[in-house]
Amino acid sequence: MTRLLDAVDTRLSGPEIEADKSDSAKAWSLGLLDLMMLLAVAYPVLSFVAQWIAGSPLRFGGVELVPMGSQNARLFMGIWLVSLAGIYIISIVSKPRWRLPSFICATVVLFGGSFIARQFDVPSEVAGAFAVAFAVAFAVAFAVAFAVAFAVAFAVAFAGAFAGAFAVAVAFAGAFAVASFILLDRIESRLATPMPRLVWLGLLLVTYSAIVLWFWQPEARNIAAYLMIFLGLFPILNAIADFASVGLTRILLRRGLDGLTWREAIVDAIGGIAIFAALGMAAITWIHLVRPPDGEQLLNLTGLFLDLENNPQDMWWLAFMLGSTLLPTALHAGIGVFTLLLSYPESLRAWVVTQLDEGGKGSHQAAWLGGGALSAMLLASIWIPFLLAHAALTANHGWLIGKIVRFFEWYAQAIGAI
């Protein structure tokens, strides 16, 4: 675990390590925030598209944005998704000399797929959102500034707020996002801290709010409003929440190496749940308070909660998008279980140590027994948290999920959002 954490730190916290900063600075590093910004833009769109590929219409807030596609259309999107994901992974793990060919191949597949998608009657909203998500992912993978992700999202969402002058709005919004990022990046290079980038995210959120409050056109509804939420609000809030959650897991894992890992795992679980709750409440609060001049919410929260209660099978993508904040906590829970299995009962631990020791001295049978027991513990540490989470979410016809939905619905009612 120490070697694994060191490898992660080398990749995500290089400047902080060189500057010999504190454990907190290494855990909540600039590199981590960059990665979370990328994922925050990519997975809301990809999870939405995956829902459509699985055979469900795209519904949000009581509105059907895109109807269920034909079998051929969904099959084409599935193949397109797998192909681009494979090229993307290869481009990251391959040697530098193969990156340019991978980039060219990805470009051909991305834009070629966008053209062919029309022949399979894939809705333009699905194909377009998918293309934007992967274009952003590839841009970041090939060392383009991480601001590109939010610049593209910001430009598209900004343009959606206006009924006309689309090209002008995109140009202005993209230029603003990139220029403000470059300005803060210069400050950031001197401070070597993620704070300027967090300030930049805050400025984008304030700008989004100003656009909706003062400039939103009444006719810019439905898909434009959802672009504003998906490519504007959710990525910003998700990036900040995931940054907080993953950083918390990193620092608690470090502390757990010198103490009680299972205790740190419990603290991480409490912190992850708190961040998850704060994420949902922040989104509800913004949608309630930031309204266009006509007073109507960008997202019909009443319709959203009705969808969650009556058609939860069509909303799993939303649960994944928001629940991704808890993934680092789930990993930590598995490590905590592994620590417990390694420590208790002491008789089993002593037996495994003896077998491994005898195996090291040349006993093949003892080596197999000790290695097999250790592997079984590792496998159990993966499956036990998963099975417990699955049981909690599915027990009594999804009782826990219903309680989570009702908690957020109660909060929405408490602030007058519904």
Among 11, 6, 13, 10, which Cα is nearest to 27's?
A: 13
Q: Which residue has the higher pLDDT, 315 or 249?
A: 249
Q: Is residue 11 part of a domain?
A: no
Each residue of 81-107: pLDDT tens digit? 788 777 766 766 666 666 667 667 766
Residue corresponding to tokens 């400039």: 215
Compute and round to an integer the Cα radius of gyration of the chain. Answer: 24
The answer to whether 191 and 174 have CB atoms below 8 angstroms apart is no
Residue 84 within a domain: no
Pair of tokens at residue 163: 């009924």
Q: Flag whether 28 is in a domain.
A: no
Instruction: Tell me the residue type at 258.
Output: D
Q: CA dist 206 to 221, 232, 340, Å?
A: 20, 11, 46
Residue 342 lies in a domain: yes
272-293 tens-digit pLDDT? 889 988 998 999 999 999 888 8
Burial of 191: CB neighbours in 10 Å, binned 0-12, 13-18, 19+: exposed
User: How many domains, in total, are found in the chain?
Assistant: 1
Provide φ and ψ at 60, rounded to 5°: -160, 125
Residue pair 279/321 in contact (Cβ under 8 Å)? The answer is no
Q: Does residue 3 sit within a domain?
A: no
Residues 265 and 331: their CA atoms lie apart, in Å, by: 9
Query: Residue 295 is part of which domain span?
Result: 40-69+123-414
| Residue 31 belongs to a domain | no
Kindly indicate the confidence band of residue 413, based on its pLDDT and cuts at 50, 70 and 90. Answer: very high
What secondary structure, in 3-state letters, does 273-286 show? HHHHHHHHHHHHHH
Q: What pLDDT is attached to residue 88?
A: 67
- pLDDT tens for residues 157-215? 555 555 444 445 555 555 665 566 666 666 655 666 788 778 878 887 887 788 778 76
pTM of the full predicted structure? 0.75
Whether 152 is covered by a domain: the verdict is yes
Burial 3-35 (b: 16+ CB within 10 A, else e): eeeeebbeebbeebeeeeeeeebbbbbbbbbbb
Region 232-243: what's the mean pLDDT? 85
Residue 255, domain member (yes or no): yes
CB 49 within 8 A of CB 73: no
